[in-house]
Structures are given as C-alpha cells and as structure tokens.
C-alpha cells in the first residue's frame, strides 16, 4: 500500500479521529486547527473529548512520528498532496447549516494550494458546498486543484472501529476530474479493504444526509410501534427482533426503541435536510414526522413518570445517564436535557449520575440538578429512577439491594435495557418503552 502525507483542516471530532486512523493506516498526518489551546493540549497528549481508545491511538501515532498537530496552516500543507476539510458545520437557529468555518478554512487555504493538490470535503455539508469551496479557492488565486467530496460516517463511542471497519467509503468527484486524482483517493483508502463507492460530488453530499435521516427514521418508526405496543399490550423488543430477522431489514437496523435519538448528527442533519429541500422547492414531509416523533418520546417519558408517581411535584427523581448514548461524554442534543427541563418545570427534584458526562453536564445545567457519581448513592431516597442512557455498567448494578435505598421502587427504563421480569422479581414497579 502506498503511503501519503495528508493534512486535516479542523481537528474536531471527525478531524482527530480521521487523522489518527489515517496515521494508523501508515500515512503521515498533520492535523491543523485555529484553536491554540486545543492544539497545544493535543501536542501534550490531552484529548479535547472522550472517545474510547483514541488517546492511546493518538499518543502511539505521535510517538511513531506519523501524526502531529499545528496551528500553522502553511506548515500543515507544505508536504501534503491531499487536504481534508473537517471543520464544524453547526446548525443555525432556523435549522440551516452555518458554513462560516468552511468558508474561512477555504479562504485561509487558498494561498497555499499547489497545482495537483486534492482538497477533500469531509464535513457534512449541503449539496453544492464543494462548488462553493472551489469558488473561494479560485478567488484566492488557487489553480489546478481538485475538489473531492468524501462524507464521513463515523459513530461516536465506536469511532475508531467505524472508520477502520467502515461499511463503505463514498467518494464524489467533479466532472472532468483527472484519473490521477481517483487513483490517489483510492490509494489513500486502499488499506481499509472496504468497498469504495464512486459518484459525483452532489450525490456524495446527499448520500450523507440520506444515510443519517434514514437511520433516524428507523428510530422514529420503532418508537411509533412502541407507542402502539403500549396501547395493545404487545412487546416492541420482540417485534424488533422479528423485524431484524428479515434479511431486507437486517440485524444491525436501528430498531432500539426508547427515548429517541440525540447527538450531533441526526438532529442537525434532519433539520438541515428539511431546509435544503425547502430551498429546492420540495416539502420533505417525512422528515417533519421523524423529528416530531423523536421530540415526543422525551415528553412521553416524563408523562410516564408522572403517571407512575401520581404527580412529579416535590418528587425525587434520579436519572441514570446524561450523554446522548453510552461510552461518550457528549451531551449535544441529548434527550436527557429535555427530560431534565420538563421534570424541573413540573417541580421535581432531579439527581443525575453518569460514568463520564457529569463534568460536561455541570457546564450546561449548573446547580439545577444534583450530581452524584455513584449510582448506588444516587438512588438513596429516590421516588423513581429513570434510565436515560444505556451504559452497560447499569446492567451489572446490584439491583436486588439498591431497591432498599429507594423511597418507592419505581423504575422507568427509557432504553429498554433491563429485563422486566428480573426487575419485577426484585420487587420493582418497572416500566419500559413499549414493553409488556
Ligand atoms: C450517527 C450515525 O450513526 C453515523 O453514521 C453518522 O456519521 C453520525 O451520526 P452517532 O450520532 O455517533 O452516529 O450515534 P448513533 O450510534 O448512530 O446513535 C445516534 C442516536 O440514536 C443516539 O442517541 C442513540 O441512543 C439513538 N439510537 C440509535 C436509538 O435510539 N435507537 C437505535 O436503534 C439506534
């Protein structure tokens, strides 16, 4: 396999994981960011966020001199043939994508582009953004470069594995892209031994949105089935198992019912695609429903707690889990935030526990809730436990003894992670989402 020198512009979540994984594949990678504190932290081996295995990987690659960090863009691109844009693309208030970091990065890069350089857009961006990058670079005097769109499908908490064992790599090219560019892009990824899907830029940009909204749609679908299950006394977990046995659906389908999706991608990409479609004159009605069902799940969770306890006013509720999914400290658009807001509004006292996200939560929630790092202490005097994130640690808790510390033995399992029969045998008044 041929190895290249690669530059990553924007060392955020995708940038850092991508850079570290490219280094693991044998490439030499220079990661750039404008945030001096972040870069100097990384130079000392300090990670800007928690991701399993990443610190060891980054330190290992830095030690092998295949990965380094800089705030100097000229230095970052000097040796490099391929420059990956992985800058943030946050949501604006109205749901549209804020491209200011993409624009800025393109302006900054323009003066350093050499003929033959390949600029790869990896952030999730609206269709047509690679053309925008081309125009900005050309305005800045850059010539004879190629623009490639190569969306990233990383999953937080399993980011390294989802890069190394990707289901596919999607690479979109402009018309008339020289075959040399295709050869290099294929060679960059050849070490992964995964299918490479070649397409045009516009399709590549849309594939990323299509993939994310499809998966989010599966979640809202199964959550709708879960609601129906409660009305008719069926079990959504058994239904999901049967659906996954259909090879057209498959064992890895996103059919885990619960309080719905959060995180950086699904909510943001759905809002963005709603906006993009609207701009194109198409009302993508399906997405409105996916979003609405997802929001409702959080309200339903709080409503179920209210029904369990008669009232929420003055009740002590302990929430297990804050992050939007297990094995991350990320709370961006986490369902826990809406749930906490609704519980506090209803007059409940909220205690929270989470193996990783408490420092993150303190920054957002301040003193509005009580933080207790040990679940066994967090349940003392609780009227109810609400499971919000399915950390595997929670399966191994001594549930048979924890019950004695609670004021009343209510559990609402918002992720359907515990066994209803076992919990009932311990004496809990256990409820889940769409289960018998
Ligand atoms: C997602 C996509 O999976 C990834 O391909 C894309 O690059 C970025 O967005 P991520 O947000 O890291 O990745 O997490 P993911 O594991 O997909 O879960 C997203 C949310 O959906 C979480 O809140 C999770 O709890 C929820 N979820 C997932 C469900 O509620 N049910 C499921 O069956 C699966």
pTM: 0.95
Counting from 1 in the atom list of ligand 1, the atom nearest the Cα of 415 is: 30
Counting from 1 in the atom list of ligand 1, the atom nearest the Cα of 154 is: 7
Ligand 1 centre from 394 Cα, in Å? 20
Counting from 1 in the atom list of ligand 1, the atom nearest the Cα of 158 is: 12
Going by alpha carbons, the residue nearest to atom 1 of ligand 1 is 155
Sheet architecture: strand order including 67-70:
67-70, 28-32, 5-9, 82-85, 118-121, 146-149, 169-173, 196-200
Ligand 1 centre from 294 Cα, in Å? 13
Q: What is the pLDDT of residues 270-316, one digit of tens each?
A: 999 999 999 999 999 999 999 999 999 999 999 999 999 999 999 99
Give the Cα separation of 16 and 58 in Å (integer): 8
Q: What is the pLDDT of residues 394-429, one digit of tens each?
A: 999 999 999 999 999 999 999 999 999 999 999 999
Burial label for 174, CB within 10 Å (0-12, 13-18, 19+), is middle
Ligand 1 centre from 70 Cα, in Å? 31
Return mean pLDDT, the chain.
96
pLDDT tops 90 at residue 29: yes
Would you place residue 166 in the very low, low, confident or very high pLDDT band (cuts 50, 70, 90)? very high
Q: What is the pLDDT of residues 33-75, one digit of tens each?
A: 999 999 999 999 999 999 999 999 999 999 999 999 999 999 9
Overall average pLDDT of the 184-203 stretch:
96
Counting from 1 in the atom list of ligand 1, the atom nearest the Cα of 324 is: 23
Going by alpha carbons, the residue nearest to atom 3 of ligand 1 is 155
Q: What pLDDT is attached to residue 436?
A: 79
Give the Cα separation of 366 and 114 in Å (integer): 49
Ligand 1 centre from 263 Cα, in Å? 7
Q: What pLDDT is attached to residue 1?
A: 82
Would you place residue 353 in the very low, low, confident or very high pLDDT band (cuts 50, 70, 90)? very high
- Beta-carbon contacts of 386 under 8 Å, excluding residues fewer than 6 positions away, are 301, 305, 317, 318, 319, 320, 339, 411, 412, 414
Q: Does ligand 1 come within 6 angstroms of the Cβ of 258?
A: yes
Q: Does ligand 1 come within 6 angstroms of the Cβ of 158?
A: no
Ligand 1 centre from 220 Cα, in Å? 12
Q: What pLDDT is attached to residue 318?
A: 98
Q: What pLDDT is attached to residue 367?
A: 97
The three-class DSSP label of residue 236 is helix
Q: What is the pLDDT of residues 220-273, one digit of tens each?
A: 999 999 999 999 999 999 999 999 999 999 999 999 999 999 998 999 999 999
Q: Does ligand 1 come within 6 angstroms of the Cβ of 256?
A: yes
Picking from 240, 261, 236, 244, the residue whose alpha carbon sits closest to that of residue 323 is 261
Picking from 87, 102, 78, 84, the residue whose alpha carbon sits closest to that of residue 185 is 84
Q: What pLDDT is attached to residue 235?
A: 98
Q: Which of 21, 31, 229, 265 is catalytic?
A: 265
To test the pocket of ligand 1, the residue of 262, 263, 270 to mutate (highest count of ligand atoms within 8 Å of its CB) is: 263
| Positive/negative CA dihedral, 263, 266, 267, 273 | positive
Q: Please say if 229 is a catalytic residue.
A: no
């Amino acid at each position: 396999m041929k190895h290249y020198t690669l530059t990553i512009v924007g060392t955020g979540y995708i940038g850092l994981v991508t850079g570290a994984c490219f280094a693991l594949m044998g490439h030499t990678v220079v990661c750039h960011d404008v945030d001096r504190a972040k870069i100097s932290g990384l130079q000392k081996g300090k990670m800007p966020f928690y991701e399993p295995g990443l610190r060891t990987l980054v330190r290992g690659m830095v030690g092998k001199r295949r990965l380094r960090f800089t705030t100097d863009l000229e230095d970052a691109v000097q040796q490099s043939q391929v420059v990956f844009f992985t800058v943030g693309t946050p949501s604006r208030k109205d749901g549209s994508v804020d491209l200011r970091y993409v624009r800025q990065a393109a302006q900054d890069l323009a003066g350093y582009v050499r003929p033959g350089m390949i600029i790869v857009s990896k952030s999730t961006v609206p269709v047509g953004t690679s053309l925008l990058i081309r125009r900005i670079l050309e305005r800045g005097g850059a010539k004879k470069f190629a623009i490639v769109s190569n969306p990233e499908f990383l999953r937080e908490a399993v980011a390294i594995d989802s890069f190394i064992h990707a289901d596919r790599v999607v690479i979109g090219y402009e018309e008339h892209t020289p075959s040399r560019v295709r050869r290099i892009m294929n060679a960059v990824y050849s070490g992964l031994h995964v299918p490479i899907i070649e397409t045009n830029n516009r399709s590549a940009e849309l594939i990323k949105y299509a993939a994310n909204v499809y998966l989010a749609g599966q979640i809202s679908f199964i959550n709708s089935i879960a609601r129906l299950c409660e009305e008719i006394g069926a079990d959504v977990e058994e239904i999901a198992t049967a659906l996954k046995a259909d090879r057209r659906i498959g064992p890895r389908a996103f059919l885990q019912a619960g309080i719905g999706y959060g995180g950086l991608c699904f909510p943001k990409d759905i809002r963005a695609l709603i906006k993009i479609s609207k701009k194109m004159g198409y009302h993508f009605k399906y997405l409105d429903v996916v979003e609405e069902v997802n929001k409702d799940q959080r309200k339903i969770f709080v409503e179920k707690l209210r029904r369990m306890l008669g009232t929420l006013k003055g009740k002590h509720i302990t929430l297990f889990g804050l992050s939007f999914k297990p094995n991350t400290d990320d709370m961006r658009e986490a369902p826990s935030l809406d749930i906490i807001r609704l519980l506090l509004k209803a007059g409940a006292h909220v205690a929270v526990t989470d193996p990783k996200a408490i420092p993150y939560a303190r920054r957002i929630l301040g003193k509005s809730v009580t933080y207790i790092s040990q679940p066994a202490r967090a349940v003392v005097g609780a009227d109810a436990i609400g499971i919000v994130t399915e950390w595997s640690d929670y399966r191994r808790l001594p549930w048979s003894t924890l019950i004695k510390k609670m004021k009343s033995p209510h559990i609402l399992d918002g992720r359907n992670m515990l066994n209803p029969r076992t919990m009932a045998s311990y004496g809990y008044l256990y409820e889940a989402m769409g289960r018998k």
